[in-house]
Amino acid sequence: MDQQAMLTRDLVLRICATATEFDSDWIGLDRKVVAPFTAPRDTSLIERITAAAAAMGVEHVLICRTRPEHAYEPVTQVRAATPSLIGVIRGWGDEPTDFLVCLEDFSAAVLVTADELTVAAGPADYVAALVGADIGRARAEFAGTARDRRDPELLEAAAHYGCLDRDDRSGQPSRPRRDLAERLTDRAGAVRDRTPRLAAGTRALRGAWGWAMVLVLVPASLFVPGLPGTLAVAALTVWLLAQLAWLARSRTLSFAALLRLTALGALTTWPVALAELGVAAALRLDPTDPLAYAYLAVPVEEIAKFTPLLLLWLAARHRVRRFTAVDHLLAAAACGAGFQLVEAVTPLLVFGEMPAHLLPQGGPFTLLPGWLEIPGSGIRFSGHAVTTGLVGAAVGLAVVGRGLYGAKLWLLPPLALGAAALEHLNHNALLAGLEPTALTTVVFTLYGNGTATRWLLLALLVCAVLLDHRMFRFAAQSTPPPPGTAPLRGLVARAHGRAVWRRCHLPGDIAPLFRGVALAWARFPVTLTQAASAILHEFAVQLAAASRGPATLCAAWRFLRRRREHAAGAARAAQRPRRRGPDRAALAAEAHDLAGRLGLAAAATLAAAAAAGVATAPFGAVEGEPGGAYAAVTVTVLTDWFTALPATAAAWTLVGTLALASLLVSGWAVPRDQPSPRHFLRTPSAALGAVLGTAAPGQLPYLAVGLLGLLLPKSTDRLLTRSG
């Protein structure tokens, strides 16, 4: 047993405000998770403290008494083992006392008072080892115990550590008022709960309308020659967004919301075109002038493409504040995808048939399809979806990560916007026959002539996912965990232990810049392993749910997304008043129901108690043909084409546009109520309505995945109980 030169006074002043209370500034450092609880003073408490140290991968801890009379005693470094800790405590005598056990780098600690109050603070993994995986429930139970007993010490601890609701502490509700989207969502939820038949009928009507629109597209294709190609481009756009949504393992936006933003982005093309014409008139510039392609279209479009996000913020500002970093990327990419969709389908509608190399290319094995590349030029335009998503990713990293990494992250959005504008500018300049400046050419060549944009977007997506999962950890004290046991616990513990060792051995006299770099390097393996553990845990939940049928799988999808939304809102709000979004109590009920479906309810209760091609645009766009990334020319040509159509073709064009828009904006939500085969013979009409309500055209992929999940063995749920 070694003794350090540090005195008890130095350690207590660093971590504690009093002998029985943690310091608020220390808790705020690295945004530690805190959980007070009551526990008898016996060996089981010491075993839990030892388990918490093991969860952090450390071999030694610091222990000392916190009362003033022991201020000049040395802090004891002891092995993180139950006999060692008990030996130190017994050496203090038989009289109960307050003592502190903390890690060597002061990143986590547990404060044990002479009574039954105990407080754990530190990373979520450390606290969960002491109070159980559901830290929020442990905090709520402590608050309930304090209120029931009316114990002043417990009530003071519950208030100090934020276990009581703000309404309980002040008597006044402090949450912001609901915005328009929340009022509509609450009203729709109330209608669904009060009148389930009406809700089921609405879903059936939506499914019937979707299939009717699919049938309408068949005759419309006969009267509008470019419609089949338009549908192929729309499917390519949906596939591009599906790829991004699947890779974004921390998203809270539903795929249905992304497609609605895509439709809104497509509608934005017309206001953007009017804005370009207005700017051109103000500058006394001909909209078809080659200079307009490069120096008018690029700045106006790169900024105006974010108009749908501004409208979203005005209608649902509280929901936007619950966005994760990757949500900003997805929302921006969806807005750009709609803008890109209009520009891509216009040549198909106007000219009917196009050469193969002029069409957007993609397929099931194409990563982020839809780019434009002019043969022989070596210059690629990645498409508005990718470039706008790049800017959205930079904005998301700055908005979500500024509290952790400072205001320097706001340098990313201008750089991303410059990269997107540079790619757009070179593409349009080449189409217009303009010669870029030498500096522009050199910079764009270093940038890879546009080929690096997709990979840069994927790199920012990975960074955004890692940042989001680190933020989720800060909300562990209010977010119910997924069912089952997280994988890779041993790897996470080793990463924690290595980070603690590096922080302890970091020289104290190095420059602040190098110190910050060293601390970030020590933290990175922890962030990486924690994110991998969380992602694999969600995959395991989905696999286990898929083996139980489509209904369980859909319930798991809804729960996991709503859980991430709750965690994002709690982490971004910190201690500020906020609209809570998905309610913790409702999420806890969903988690319990999902665990029951997976056969894990009993285990969860026990654990809580115990602890390739190219796509190009045609040349000659300056002559008034569509194809360049220029909204004014696109809208002008599209309008002229439509007004010249015969009455029959124009009518079918409107019908086809309505059908395509309907298929984009509705019928993509995760199905709620799965039809039961037992009801087909008893109530065939109700059963048919249930089928239509869960099998709209956009819902078929969900059902296909759910049916494939039935091929999995029932033992798949062992993935959730296997120790890591």
Asked if residue 602 has pLDDT above 80, the reply is no
Specify the residue for token string 């010490």.
153
Question: Is the pLDDT assigned to residue 158 strictly greater than 50?
Answer: yes
Local structure of 616: helix, strand or coil: coil
Check residue 417 and give its pLDDT.
94
Confidence of residue 625 (pLDDT cuts 50, 70, 90): very low
pLDDT at 45 over 80: yes
Structure tokens at 95: 């009289």
Q: Could you tell me if 539 and 477 are in contact, meaning their C-beta atoms sit under 8 angstroms apart?
A: no
- pLDDT tens by residue, 7-37: 899 999 999 999 889 999 999 988 999 999 9
* Ramachandran region, residue 368 (left: φ > 0; alpha: ψ -120 to 50; beta: rest): left
User: Residue 601: what pLDDT?
Assistant: 57
pLDDT tier at 684 (50, 70, 90 boundaries)? low
Share of the chain above pLDDT 90, in %: 50
Tell me, what's the pLDDT at 229?
Answer: 87
> What span, in angstroms and rounded, lies between the C-alpha atoms of 263 and 551?
29
Query: Rounded CA gap, 446 and 467, in Å?
Result: 28
Q: What is the pLDDT of residues 260-272, one digit of tens each?
A: 999 999 999 999 9
Kindly give, in sequence order, each residue whose CB lies less than 8 Å from that of residue 626, ignoring residues fewer than 6 positions away: 343, 346, 347, 350, 633, 634, 637, 638
Q: Phi and psi for 695 in degrees, rounded to 5?
A: -130, 45
| Higher local confidence (pLDDT), 676 or 124 | 124
Q: Taken in order 26, 28, 32, 35, is the CA torsion positive or negative?
A: positive
Answer whether residue 173 shows pLDDT above 80. no
Query: How far, in Å, CA of 503 to CA of 519, rounded?
Result: 7
Structure tokens at 79: 């092995």
Q: How would you class 647 by CB atoms within 10 Å of its CB: exposed for 0-12, middle for 13-18, buried for 19 or more?
A: exposed
For residue range 383-410, what is the model confidence (pLDDT) as tens digits?
Answer: 899 999 999 999 999 999 998 888 899 9
* Domain layout of the chain by residue ranges: 2-163, 180-189+226-469+614-638
Identify the pLDDT of residue 357: 53
End-to-end Cα, the chain, rounded Å:
31
Q: Report residue 63's pLDDT band, with 50, 70 and 90 as the boundaries.
A: very high
Mean pLDDT of the chain: 86
Looking at residue 523, what is its pLDDT? 93
pLDDT band at 542 (very low <50, low <70, confident <90, very high): very high
Which amino acid is present at 88?
V
How does pLDDT run across 573-596, given as a tens digit for each residue? 876 656 557 888 889 999 999 998
Residue 558 CA to residue 160 CA, distance in Å, equals 34
Higher pLDDT, 436 or 708: 708
Write out pLDDT tens, residues 493-506.
999 999 999 998 88
Q: How confident is the model at residue 353 (pLDDT cuts 50, 70, 90)?
A: low
pLDDT of res. 14: 92
Give burial (CB, 10 Å; 0-12/13-18/19+) of 599.
middle
The tens digit of pLDDT for each residue in 234-257 reads 999 999 999 999 999 999 999 999
3-state secondary structure of 486: coil
State yes or no: pLDDT of 382 exceeds 90: no
Q: Is the pTM of this model over 0.85?
A: yes
What pLDDT does 248 receive?
A: 95
**pLDDT of res. 613:** 35
Quick one: 267 exposed, middle or buried, by C-beta within 10 A (0-12, 13-18, 19+)?
Answer: middle
Helix axes 512-546, 550-573, angle to 10 degrees: 160
- Looking at residue 234, its pLDDT comes to 93
Helix, strand, coil % over all residues of the chain, rounded to 5: 65, 5, 30
Residue 643: other Cβ atoms inside 10 A:
8
372-373 vs 380-381, strand pairing mode: antiparallel
124-128, 327-331, 359-363, 584-588 — which is least confidently predicted?
A: 359-363
